[in-house]
Amino acid sequence: MNKKIILQDLGLKDYKNTWDFQTDLLQETVDIKISNRRNDKFETTNNHFLFVEHPHVYTLGKSGDLSNLLLNENQLKEKGATFYKINRGGDITYHGPGQIVGYPILDLENFFTDIHKYLRLLEETIILTITEYGLKGTRSKGETGVWLDVGTPFARKICAMGIRSSRWVTMHGFALNANTNLGYFDNIIPCGIRGKAVTTMEAELGKKVDLEEVKQKILKHFKNLFEVEEYIIK
C-alpha cells in the first residue's frame, strides 16, 4: 500500500479548471486499478492532495436543490461569481478568496475502504486544526462538516465538505472558511440547511489568520490521522 501523498498548492485557480484537473487525476488512478485487475498485475497507485483558492463560485452537489441558489444569471455576473452543478455529494456551497479548499484524491485502498471513516477523519483534521486557534469545532448529526456551538441557537458552520468516490478513489473535499467574505453566503441557503449560520476563523477570532500557517496545521493533522508516510511536494 502506497501511503505517500503528492502535494500541490495551486494558488488561486478557476473552479472548472481545478475540477477538470481533479477528474484527470482520479481517472488516471482508476485506469491503473482497472488494468491491474484485468491483467492480474499490481502497479502502485498515487495519492494526491491539492490546496487551492477559487475566485467567487457557487457549486451545487448532485442531489442538491437549485432553489437554494438565490441569484439569477445576471445577479451572478453582478457579483463576479460563477455557478456549476457538479458531481460531489451535498447541496450548495460557496468558494472564494480567503477560503482554504483541500481536495484529497486518494486511493482509499492504500489506507482503508470505508467512506464513512474517510469523512469523519476529514472532519477530525479540521477540528484538530481549529482547536489550535482556541475554536471548539464539533460535528452536527446528519450534517457533514465542522460546526461551532452545535445544539444551541447559535450553531454555525465553519467548514463544508462534499466528496465523490469511484472504485475507492476520492475527489472534491473540504472548504475551511478562514478569511472568507461571509457576504457571499447570503446569496444561498448554505448546504440546503435553513436557519443555521456560517462563520469564519477571522470572524470568530477577530483577526485574519495566516493561510499558510493554517494549511501546515491541516497537513500535520491529516498526516497523523491517515498515517501518511510522507508528502511529496510538486
User: How many C-beta atoms lie closer than 10 Å to residue 35's C-beta?
Assistant: 11
Please give the positions annotated as active site.
191
Give residue-wise pLDDT tens across range 82-120.
999 999 988 899 999 999 999 999 999 999 999 999 999
Number of separate domains in the chain: 1
Give residue-wise pLDDT tens across range 154-192.
999 999 999 999 999 999 999 999 999 999 999 988 665
Secondary structure class of 230 (helix, strand, coil) = strand
Cα end-to-end distance, the chain, whole Å: 21
Q: Which of these, 64, 15, 16, lies nearest to 189 by C-alpha position?
A: 64
| DSSP tag of 40 | T
Return the CATH number at 146.
3.30.930.10
Percent of the chain with pLDDT over 70: 97
Q: What phi and psi values does residue 149 have, to the nearest 5 degrees?
A: 55, 45
pLDDT level of residue 193 (50, 70, 90 thresholds): low
Range of the domain at 98: 4-233
Residues paired with 104 in a beta bridge: 49
Cα gap 151→136, rounded to integer Å: 13
